Amino acid sequence: MNMRAHADAELSQSQLQELAEQLSGKRRELIGVLANLDQQIAAKDDCSISDAAEAAGLQENRARAGGIADQHKQTIVEIDLALRRLETGSYGVSEISGEAIAFERLLLIPWARTGGGE
């Protein structure tokens, strides 16, 4: 991938490489977690479940897994957008103010679109 930061971003090529690796690694991790969550959501109830409380617990677990899956899917979308910004040369600046996003913030949230205080 040809990585470029925005002209106003204060990121070196090695920092861009580190952030791109974090983005790609986090994306792979979330896809793996999603596969597991999808299995939990799709699992059929055990026919031997006779306790209504246990059945309700299984439904609650499915609902919780669905919510987590939705959050992970949204993060993957944000990561994909960040990777696209890296390719187009618009990465590293706030979409609101146009100011450079600090490398320290990007290390914590490499898909960040703002500087955090906006």
**Tens of pLDDT along 54-101?**
777 777 878 888 889 999 999 999 999 999 999 999 999 999 999 999
- Topology (CATH) of 13-108: Four Helix Bundle (Hemerythrin (Met), subunit A) (1.20.120)
**Tens of pLDDT along 11-49?**
999 999 999 999 999 999 999 999 888 887 776 655 555
How far from 35 is each of 14, 19, 73, 94, 99, CA to CA, in Å? 32, 24, 11, 32, 37
CA 91, CA 11: separation in Å to the nearest integer? 10
Residue 100 backbone phi and psi in degrees, to 5: -65, 140
Domain layout of the chain by residue ranges: 13-108
Q: What is the pTM of this model?
A: 0.82
